[in-house]
Structure 1
Amino acid sequence: MRNVKLAFAIFSIIFLIAGCSKSATPNTPATTENTTPSNNTTSDTKAKVLNLGKDVELASMDSAIATDGLSFEVIAATIEGLYTIDADGVPQLAIAEKVDLSDDGTKYTFTIRDAKWSNGTPVTANDFEFAWKRLVNPETASEYSFIMGVAGVKNADAIVAGEKGIEELGVKAVDEKTLVVELDRPVAFFNSLMAFPSFYPINEAFYNEKGAEYALTSDALLANGPFKMKTWEVGGTTFYLEKNPDYFAADSIKLDGLNYQVIKDTQQSILAYENGDLDYIMLSGEQIVNYQDSPEYHNIVAGYLWYLSPNQKVAGLENLNLRKALSLAYDKEAIVNDILKDGSIKADFAVPTLLATGPDGKDYRETAETYPSTNKEEALKYWEKAKADLGISSINLELLFEDTESATLVAQFIQSEVESTLPGVTFTLKSQPKKNRVELMQQGDYEVGLTRWGPDYADPMTYLDMWTTGSPNNYGAWENKEYDELVNRASKGDLASKPEERWEALKKAEGIVMDQAVIFPVYQKGNAVLIKPEVSGIEFHSVGVNIFYKSADKQ
């Protein structure tokens, strides 16, 4: 990373790289193989199509079901909500053309602009009411239903808990153009949250028409945003988005389409990039060194925290000494410097650096506690205590991870480190496609899982509320009443309106997570990417949706 502090301080980075001279080709093998999928639109040499290489499959296009970064990225390319995020990370009105806020900050009245879905029907206030009520409906079983409560929408938490009916949610379409949203408390980051896919509208008539097939294929999707899905099937390795002529700001969209290809092997994606089949790829490991001096190389600092989640329902992992032993047993510096090499930094925390600024004007991490990093001697001491506690001399644990190249390399390294540091501990590796890995962890069907979380909004609570009792993201099933109470007070209780006291409570909550080894942090992600010099205007954000293409262009 060339300038860590500067990069982290910027929440959105726009690459204005059009006009740059083409770099000398780095020292990498050449190939004549064309790995870009055949597509009638892309075959038109005059069309401006951005060819994007990704290392994971597109898991879901349902805004109530999606949980991962790529799904959010693609959904945001096809649908807009009340707000969108501009290049500087500032929320701007989108489908809402006007908003009135009550003096006490708890009632928003939105006026919906003239906008259409890709089937020609108008976008209405009811599309928002329907989508929001579907999100919190327990029958939907959305992993993101909690976020409606985070936004402060009246009765959201009680509805998710099954204590009230969905008709009591604080959202109402007064008429086709007027949406009223009632909060149970003022929420400072409410506008930013409205740009997050969970709050996007859904056309009720279309949803009912498609039924169980909704959002499973391109034919079962509607768009009101810059692009619309043309070809896609769940689990497929290619998909294509074309410009949406019905988008209210279609005249401002310069690209004709986005052509995605899933390539999990970095070397293969580089070959496709060098052949001109891809305009954008992510790098990892040794390949980064070959490209760091190229003008096509860019380092993007992301908000994602990668960590190990121990399932405390698994025999042995309920033991704090064993968890502490595991958390201290692997070299994080080696992971970021020798394996990833992409600008990632080691994580000795549960809340990433430069996520949010406190009431004192300082970044959260500047005044929060520091926590132990790799310490193999201490790890061994904890392992000896754990063996005595549990009456064992050895333990075999399964480490679950997704089948991307970087996750595989990190998991293999952690396996080697733990087994050499803690004699008697065996890590059996289990690789799965990302979608399967997430499902297994959600179901609690795992032992130790390598996972990640990206911030949905710029506040430490986007991480800390994951580990409350019953949270769908509390994969390890940890429970702590003191922690639950502290988080509740800071999010909805007496501390919610006391900024300084709330900030200190958040720090205390993080301390509990770290002291109890609820998770074993590994690294905060940096992305090393190659972007062709003829491409400009891709917007990168570290909070919420990570990439926007509506301002992108290709010469």
Structure 2
Amino acid sequence: MIVEQRASTGEKLEIMRIRYLVLAMLFTLAACTSGETPTAGTATPGTAVIGTSTITNFLPITAPGATSAGDRLLTGILYQPLFSYQHKTPTKYSLDTLRSLAEVTNVSEDGLTYTIALRNRSWSDGIPITTYDIELWWRLILANKENWRGYHQGRIPDTITSLTITDPMTFTVTTDKPYDPNWFVGNELAHVIPLPQHIWDPDNIANTPAGAARLYADLTAAAPDAKNKFLTAVSGPYKLDNLKNGTVTLTAVDKYDGLDKPRIGTIKLQPTPDNDLGTSLTTKKLDVAMLPSATTADQVKKLQDSGFTVAPQYDWGISYLSFNFNNKTSLPLLEQTYIRKSLQRLINQDNLIKNSWSGEARKGCDVLPTAPNASDNPCPPTVAYDLQAAKQELAQHGWQQHGADMVCTESAKCGEGIAPNTKLTFTVVATKNSPAIRELEQLRDEFAQAGITLTINQVPDAVAVMSDCARTARQCEWDLGLATTPLSWVFPTYPSGEHILATNSAANFGGFSNPQADELIAKTYQSATPDSLATYSNFINERQPVLWLPQPPVRYIAYPKNLNGVDNDAPLIPQNWSTP
């Protein structure tokens, strides 16, 4: 539902011309009267070549499954989102106040309506960015959500009942129910990207659902074309210059008026396979590369000896093994909280970090992520490695170690459904040749010290196996599962648990289900309850529905030592880079 009524097509073009002239004059006046308003700057000379995956889409709106990491890097540089986020320092809604295009100025008392004010920013052709550019995004997504890569049922645009244009610089959104503003601003509004309405829809055909569908089809069809007409104006610090032999060349926008003005004049995005990144750096074909998480210490040292800074990058996520509560055969064992907790105490994360991740990983102890730049704090005693405590816990519940096996000798203490002489044996499923296989092999040895057998079943796609079990009860002959590496789950800005641990949620591959947990998870995003995340975290950690693993870096960033302004704890932000 759009509250504001727009002018007819015949009247609209003249109205647009007047609107933009007036706004341009207002922006000029604001620049003269406000010390906080950014002014256009000149980029310093120089070129940085970045290794990427092949780029196949040049527009920020795409169909499901149609984008690569290279596509997302490119479109993120060309088209800035409404809000940018960071986790280094506490800010309201975790906003990156330097790069965000707007601010939330008010949330209504009933928690339903958000007032959002745009900052004085312009497109690369000098036309002001206005709320009509937000409205175009809204119309396109609302009419085409099933064909939009960012859509998940029950999420934006489903969470918004109306978007209302107040004036060219202010709009409101009204939600279908009250949400925690941290969740709504951080996770839902993160999808909003201003789109240049004066270029993409000058005739306002998106004013109707049918027109928005036609325009969306035109955009998705044009996205793979580097010369498509929609690329005329961008909001980011760089614009597309050319595409040659797969390499995308970007040049600094002369009229860019963001506070993060580009300091390097030219950026090149050069498709490079992962296994060629190191060689391409040392042979000076690349300046900057994002190396895979499986990069070894020897590879890092070689690059460092060649004059590169190489730094691990940690993401906003967690790593864990899922217990398979859908495995009816093993369920009597997996239902026992004391068994799950004992297994956690057998995980020597210090050794895993040293031997499986070349010393580069952080301890994982919680359902909530650790800030990328945080120090590595020790896990609490209830989670920390303690072989004797784990054995003692099992002994108190009727288990004894007979040689190489931990055996239930007192079934009344072991738990309901556990027969006498049952052995603690588990099968873990993981993707074949995954970097985490080394970790699981070491874990197998650590479990063996307590008489527990861990069998590693390597399959072509662990996610497919685990998902099949969760959805159809097929392929359930596993007890523990490692879905993805290096992280099991990467959160959006606000780390609520509705996707991973709520009953029947999309990534709840282990089938964990607890009504009280569902209630606490809902509170983390459906209300602004104080300490809701901490309460949810404490409840989950007490019940141990997963086994926490170290959190390795998701990648390594490598760049020349004389390249300044690179943030080791953030995604690539090339406008911040400079050379002496």
Q: TM-score, normalised by structure 2?
A: 0.62
| Residues 142/467 of structure 1: CA separation in 2 closer, same or farther (3 Å cut) | farther
Contact map agreement 1:52 1:259 (CA 8 A) in 2: yes
The alpha-carbon deviation at position 483 of structure 1 amounts to: 0.6
Residue number in structure 1 paired with 2:574 = 549
Shift of 1:92: 2.8
Give the SS at the match of 2:458: strand
Number of equivalences: 462
Instruction: Report what 1:313 is aligned to.
Output: 326
SS where residue 510 of structure 2 aligns? coil
Displacement of 1:241: 5.7
Aligned pair partner of 1:425 in 454, 461, 470: 454
Q: Which residue of 2 aligns with 1:18?
A: none
**CA deviation profile, 1:199-257 (whole Å, cap 9, x unmatched):** 3246666852347657667678855433467899xxxx976462474984489332422
Confirm whether residue 480 of structure 1 aligns to residue 506 of structure 2. Answer: no
CA contact (8 A) 2:120 2:128 kept: no
- Candidates 495, 506, 528, aligned match of 2:533: 506
For residues 228 and 80 of structure 1, what CA distance do their matches in structure 2 show?
A: 12
Aligned to 2:134: 125
User: Which of 438, 456, 459 in structure 1 is aligned with 2:492?
Assistant: 456
1:296 Cα offset (Å): 2.3
The separation in 2 between residues aligned to 1:343 and 1:77, in whole angstroms, is: 29
Q: In the superposition, relative to structure 1, how do residues 476 and 82 fare at CA in structure 2: closer, same or farther (>3 Å)?
A: same
CA distance in 2, matches of 1:48, 1:317: 61
In structure 2, the CA distance between the partners of 1:185 and 1:195, relative to structure 1 (3 Å rule), is closer
In the alignment, is the contact (CA less than 8 A) between 2:278 and 2:303 conserved in 1? no
**Equivalent in the alignment of 1:14:** none
In 2: Cα distance, 1:456 partner to 1:86 partner: 11
Corresponding residue for residue 81 of structure 1: 81
- Say if 2:560 is the partner of 1:532: yes
Q: Give distance in 2, aligned partners of 1:511 and 1:102.
A: 29
Alignment partner, residue 431 of structure 2: 400
- Which protein has greater RCO, CA pairs closer than 8 Å, 6+ apart? 1
**Which residue, out of 268, 273, 281, partners 2:281?**
273
Bigger Rg, structure 1 or 2: 2
For 1:195 and 1:550, the matched residues in 2 are separated by: 24
The alpha-carbon deviation at position 428 of structure 1 amounts to 1.4
State yes or no: 1:303 paired with 2:316.
Answer: yes
Q: Determine what percentage of the aligned residue pairs are the same residue.
A: 12
Aligned runs of 1:252-271 on 2, under 5 Å?
252-253=261-262, 254-265=264-275, 268-271=276-279
Counterpart of 1:181 in structure 2 is 173
Q: What residue ranges of structure 1 are gaps of 5+ in the alignment?
A: 1-45, 149-155, 161-167, 358-362
Query: Could you tell me which residue of structure 2 aligns to residue 200 of structure 1?
Result: 193
1: CA distance, partners of 2:356 / 2:69: 22
Evaluate the alpha carbon distance shift between residue 411 and residue 454 of structure 1 in structure 2; reply closer, same or farther with a 3 A threshold: same
* Residue identity in the other structure for 2:560: K
After TM superposition, give the deviation of residue 547 of structure 1 in Å.
Answer: 3.4
Q: In the alignment, which of 97, 104, 116 is matched to residue 92 of structure 1?
A: 97
CA distance in 2: counterparts of 1:93 and 1:131, whole angstroms:
28
- Which whole-Å CA distance do the structure 2 matches of 1:188 and 1:226 have between them? 28
> Match for residue 101 of structure 1?
106
2:284 aligned counterpart, secondary structure? coil
Determine whether 1:209 maps to 2:217. Answer: yes
Q: Distance in 2 between matches of 1:431 and 1:231?
A: 39
Q: Is the 8 A contact 1:331 1:374 kept in 2?
A: yes
Residues 21-40 of structure 1: CA deviation (Å, up to 9, x unaligned): xxxxxxxxxxxxxxxxxxxx
From 237, 242, 256, the counterpart of 2:250: 242
1:373 equivalent in structure 2: 384
User: SS of 1:428's equivalent?
Assistant: strand
- Shift in CA distance, 86/143, structure 1 to aligned 2, threshold 3 Å: closer
Aligned counterpart, 2:368: 351
Point out the more displaced range, 58-67 or 88-97: 58-67
Distance 2:161 2:515 in 1: 27
Alignment of structure 1 residues 323-362 onto 2, 5 Å: 327-341=344-358, 343-354=360-371
